[in-house]
């Protein structure tokens, strides 16, 4: 069976809007605000109904411009790897620090995208991040917490 | 007025102030180019430095940073399809496709000239129209603002190509939903946070724009790497092309620039509207004005499509100074930061600013002309060097885009939750882009969400819960009528074309 993915996305959006609307009705407002013409839940409720309306229309109306994506030609593997690297980066940045995690993030990203020019890979990760970090931390005075550099005495 | 102009020129043309405009423009361009760091960040960083100067010099420096950052934002929109500020999102619609066609130099030159012309023309409008425009701006009430925002959002949905209106409207709703996350502005009641403290302050604009543009663009490029029909083709240095604008292109710009500068300036004057709505409206207006042949080029590298938003966003920058200087009400987030700085100098903006500090008012206006000239002199010769960023191979460019996006978010909050949230939104955005769900309506809705709720709240409270406010005032009714006409016209045109086909 050939399923129109746009319709599937519209159905998901319809379900999401229904959930949003349900959550909007659950927003706790102050007792004196309960019957006010406008309170914290009014706008989200309208949005929930708008979401149901537009996604519902998309679901029931014919789709003249069906989009067909050639999944076989898409590079899912590298995309997923890069997303995983970004998640690992997010998980380690606070514990390890900006310099080492960002440099390793860049270096590994270059590697998994197929780059093998090691010197260039190194230059565009460790020294590049050091220079950028100097710009942020040293010139623009944006504090970057870095336990790794602190442990080796580079940062105060 | 002549006396004021002379006072302004005397102040703005001192060596120190010319130097400040130059530094501001240069620094702003560099910061604005980095995805995630927009004019607001750049100006905020400048505030501590400006306290060492007199108020006029400090404001001249910040104004230079503002223009520079807006232009820098256009550069990253054109070269990387990664708008750092919402005002340059519309620039990427035609700027990026033009760069993909090997005309990156030309796209940057068109953007530079349009910015220059838009900024200069709007500075002239500002000079002559500031007093009366402030009165027009004062006459706008909450229902008018609410209606104007509905118009802006409907217009952007209608701009989407054939068959995408409903998809665009879904993205508008999604953007408004994302904007509703966090504390309610009036009651401080938390909404849709699911007891997560990280969501209490809502989702940052930079996070959403980085996720839906820069990061999802990078992911789409990798995803479509082997797709021969890939639309995510990356520009390369060999396809840079000339920065010369030919006669035909100049003719198109001559027509586009005046009308876009007017719309940009007028929208910029309205408090809260600013460069974003101005650029989208100018883009939409231009698309509706041009002939069918030119219309087909929109979204594929149209000269008019690039020139219109670029002119309008710079014109809106000048326009946004009107309410700030004459009423003390900022016209945009950036001028709000500048207003804070002005108060820090002990200067109270408002109608009396003309009398109490004429040198500040007039020197800012005069420095706008100087700033525009410097920006052009600075940016046109630098275009080939700026465009060198295209030489970076995909294997390096993609991780670097991800790096700038993630760093942009990280330095704002120092919180890894925002990184996870950005990755999540980027994955959803990448998937939706594959199926032609447009992202710009989502961004505009996200930016306008808070303001829209605020104005709806005021309107409903003032009308005691009745929706009559929508047609009580002629201005509100006219704006809403325009919105309805756009929708009806759009549906009619789609149906008419379909029946013809």
Lowest mean pLDDT among A68-72, A82-86, B238-242, B485-489: B238-242
Give the least confident one: A79-93, B382-396, B416-430: B382-396
pTM of the complete model: 0.73
Q: Does A7 touch chain B (CB under 8 A)?
A: no
Say what the pLDDT of residue B37 is: 57
CB contact under 8 A, A6 and B184: no
For the segment A143-149, the average pLDDT, to the nearest whole number, is 82
> If pLDDT is split at 50, 70 and 90, which confidence band does B444 have?
confident
Minimum Cα–Cα distance from B494: chain A residue? A64
Does the beta-carbon distance from B180 to A44 stay under 8 Å?
yes
Three-class HEC string of B10-56: HHHCCHHHHHHHHHHHHHHHHHHHCCCCCHHHHHHHHHHHHCCCCHH
ipTM of this complex prediction, to 2 decimal places: 0.93
Residue-wise pLDDT tens digits, B254-273: 889 999 999 888 887 765 55
| Rounded Cα distance, B26 and B32, in Å | 10
Q: Do B395 and A5 touch (CB under 8 A)?
A: no
Which pLDDT tens digit goes with each residue over B290-323?
888 888 888 888 899 999 999 998 888 888 777 6
Predicted local confidence at residue A152, as pLDDT? 84
pLDDT at B370 > cutoff 70: yes
Residues on chain B touching A54 (C-beta within 8 angstroms): 166, 169-170, 173
CB-based contact, A145 to chain B, within 8 Å:
yes
Q: Does A30 touch chain B (CB under 8 A)?
A: yes
Residue among B122, B130, B87 nearest B318 (CA):
B122
pLDDT of B17 > 70? The answer is: yes
CA dist B112 and B117 (Å) reads 9
Mean pLDDT, residues A57-77 taken together: 81
Rounded Cα gap, residues B361 and B354, in angstroms: 6
Count of CB atoms within 10 A of residue B131's CB?
12
Mean pLDDT score, B412-440: 89
> Helix or strand or coil: residue B471?
helix
Choose among B423, B442, B48: nearest CA to B280.
Answer: B442
CA distance B457 to chain A (A): 6
The chain-wide mean pLDDT, for chain B, equals 79
Least confident of A107-116, B328-337, B343-352, B389-398: B328-337
CB < 8 Å & 24+ apart, contacts of B182-188? B184/A40, B185/B450, B185/B453, B185/B454, B186/A40, B186/B457, B187/A29, B187/A30, B187/A33, B187/A39, B187/A40
User: Domain segments of chain B: what residues?
Assistant: 2-500
pLDDT tens figures, A45-66: 999 999 999 999 888 887 767 7
Closest CA to B286 of B306, B316, B313: B306
pLDDT surpasses 50 at A107: yes
Residue from A38, A100, A101 whose CB has the most chain B CBs within 10 Å, to mutate? A38
């Amino acid at each position: 069976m050939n399923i129109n993915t746009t319709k599937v996305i519209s159905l998901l959006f319809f379900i999401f809007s229904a959930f949003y609307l349900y959550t909007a009705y659950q927003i706790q407002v102050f007792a004196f605000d309960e019957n006010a013409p406008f309170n914290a839940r009014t706008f989200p409720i309208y949005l929930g109904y708008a979401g149901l309306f537009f996604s519902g229309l998309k679901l029931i109306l014919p789709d003249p411009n069906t989009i067909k994506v050639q999944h076989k030609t898409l590079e899912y593997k590298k995309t997923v790897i890069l997303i995983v690297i970004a998640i690992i980066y997010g998980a380690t940045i606070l514990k390890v620090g900006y310099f080492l995690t960002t440099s390793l993030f860049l270096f590994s990203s270059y590697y998994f995208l197929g780059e093998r020019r090691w010197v260039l890979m190194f230059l565009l990760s460790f020294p590049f991040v050091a220079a950028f970090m100097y710009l942020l931390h040293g010139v623009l005075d944006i504090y970057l917490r870095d336990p790794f550099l602190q442990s080796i005495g580079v940062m105060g | 007025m002549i006396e004021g102009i002379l006072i302004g020129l005397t102040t703005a043309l001192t060596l120190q102030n010319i130097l400040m405009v130059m530094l501001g423009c240069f620094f702003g361009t560099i910061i604005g180019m980095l995805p995630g760091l927009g004019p607001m960040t750049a100006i905020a960083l400048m505030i501590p430095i400006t306290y060492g100067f007199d108020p006029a010099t400090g404001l001249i420096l910040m104004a230079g940073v503002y223009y520079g950052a807006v232009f820098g934002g256009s550069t990253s929109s054109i070269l990387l399809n990664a708008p750092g500020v919402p005002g340059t999102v519309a620039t990427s619609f035609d700027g990026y496709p033009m760069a993909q066609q090997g005309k990156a130099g030309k796209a940057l030159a068109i953007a530079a000239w349009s910015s220059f012309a838009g900024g200069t023309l709007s500075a002239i409008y500002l000079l002559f129209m500031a007093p009366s425009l402030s009165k027009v701006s004062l006459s706008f009430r909450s229902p008018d603002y609410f209606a104007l925002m509905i118009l802006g959002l409907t217009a952007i949905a209608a701009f989407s190509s054939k068959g995408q209106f409903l998809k665009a409207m879904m993205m508008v709703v999604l953007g408004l939903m994302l904007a509703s996350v966090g504390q309610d502005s009036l009651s401080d009641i938390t909404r849709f946070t699911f007891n997560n403290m990280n969501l209490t302050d809502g989702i940052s604009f930079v996070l959403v724009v980085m996720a839906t543009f820069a990061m999802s663009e990078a992911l789409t490029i990798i995803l479509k790497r082997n797709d021969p029909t890939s639309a995510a083709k990356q520009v390369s240095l060999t396809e840079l092309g000339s920065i010369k604008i030919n006669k035909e292109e100049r003719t198109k710009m001559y027509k586009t620039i005046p009308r876009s500068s007017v719309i940009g300036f007028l929208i910029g004057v309205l408090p809260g509207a600013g460069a974003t709505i101005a650029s989208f409206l100018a883009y939409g207006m231009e698309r509706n004005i041009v002939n069918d042949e030119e219309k087909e080029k929109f979204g594929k590298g149209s000269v008019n499509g690039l020139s219109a938003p670029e002119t309008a966003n710079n014109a809106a920058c000048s326009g946004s100074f009107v309410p700030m200087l004459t009423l003390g009400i900022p016209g945009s987030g950036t001028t709000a930061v500048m207003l804070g700085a002005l108060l820090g100098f002990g200067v109270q903006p408002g109608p009396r600013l003309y009398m109490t500090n004429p040198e500040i008012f007039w020197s800012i206006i005069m420095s706008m002309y100087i700033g525009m000239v410097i920006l052009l002199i600075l940016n046109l010769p630098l275009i080939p060097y700026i465009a060198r960023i295209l030489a970076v191979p995909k294997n390096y460019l993609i991780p670097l885009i991800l790096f700038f996006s993630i760093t942009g978010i990280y330095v704002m909050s120092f919180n890894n939750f925002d990184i996870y949230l950005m990755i999540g939104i980027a994955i959803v955005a990448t998937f939706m882009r594959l199926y032609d769900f447009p992202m710009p309506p989502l961004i505009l809705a996200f930016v306008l969400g808070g303001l829209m709720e605020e104005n709806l709240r005021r309107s409903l409270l003032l009308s005691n819960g009745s929706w009559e406010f929508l047609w009580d005032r002629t201005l509100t009714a006219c704006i809403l009528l325009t919105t309805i006409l756009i929708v009806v016209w759009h549906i009619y045109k789609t149906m008419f074309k379909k029946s013809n086909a």
